[in-house]
Amino acid sequence: MKLTRKCVYCESELIGRIDKKFCDPQCKSAYQYKKSKEEPERFYNKVDNQLKLNRKILKKYNKGGKVTVRENLLIEEGFNPNFFTHYWKNKKGDIYLFAYEYGFLKIKEKNIDKFVLITWQEFMLTDKIKHY
């Protein structure tokens, strides 16, 4: 009685070693990719991806070093203000949250929620900075 083994991914007949699981490197790669997509995203990856997205969005809207943008514009693109790397408190007591070198401060102007966007400056190093 002949025992036939099949590729784990495409189920074609395997020829070769007894412990062989895949017919070729492409099936092995496709199987690993499919398996990784089925697994739930790890917490670290979710946080890292959101921080990177926040940075990308802040960079896109802050071309001048300091600008004011409507909150809904950023939120619609996927910005989440609950994810930040550190914060800086200015002399007036305003607390700017940062996604790496891009900072934001939530304000209300004429009853409209907005963010003041800034970029990290050298003088901020002398002030106290809080990292998480």
Whether 15 and 27 share a structural domain: yes
pTM value > 0.75: no
Whether 61 and 125 share a structural domain: yes
Whether 59 and 106 share a structural domain: yes
Number of domains in the chain: 2
pLDDT at 128: 54
Whether 48 and 33 share a structural domain: no
pLDDT at 127: 54
Pairing of strands 66-70, 129-131: unpaired
Residues 70-113 have pLDDT tens digits of 999 999 999 999 999 999 999 999 999 999 999 999 999 999 99
Whether 82 and 122 share a structural domain: yes
Whether 59 and 104 share a structural domain: yes
Whether 99 and 83 share a structural domain: yes
Measured distance CA(54)–CA(65) in Å, rounded: 16
Whether 30 and 47 share a structural domain: no
Whether 23 and 61 share a structural domain: no
Q: Which of 78, 100, 103, 108 is nearest to 90 (CA)?
A: 103
pLDDT at 52: 98
Whether 92 and 69 share a structural domain: yes
Residues 23-72 have pLDDT tens digits of 999 999 999 999 888 877 788 889 999 999 999 999 999 998 899 999 99
Exposure of 51 by Cβ count < 10 A (0-12 exposed, 13-18 middle, 19+ buried)?
A: middle
Whether 95 and 55 share a structural domain: yes
Structural domain for 112, as ranges: 43-131
Whether 121 and 67 share a structural domain: yes
45 C-beta neighbours (distance < 10 Å), count: 10
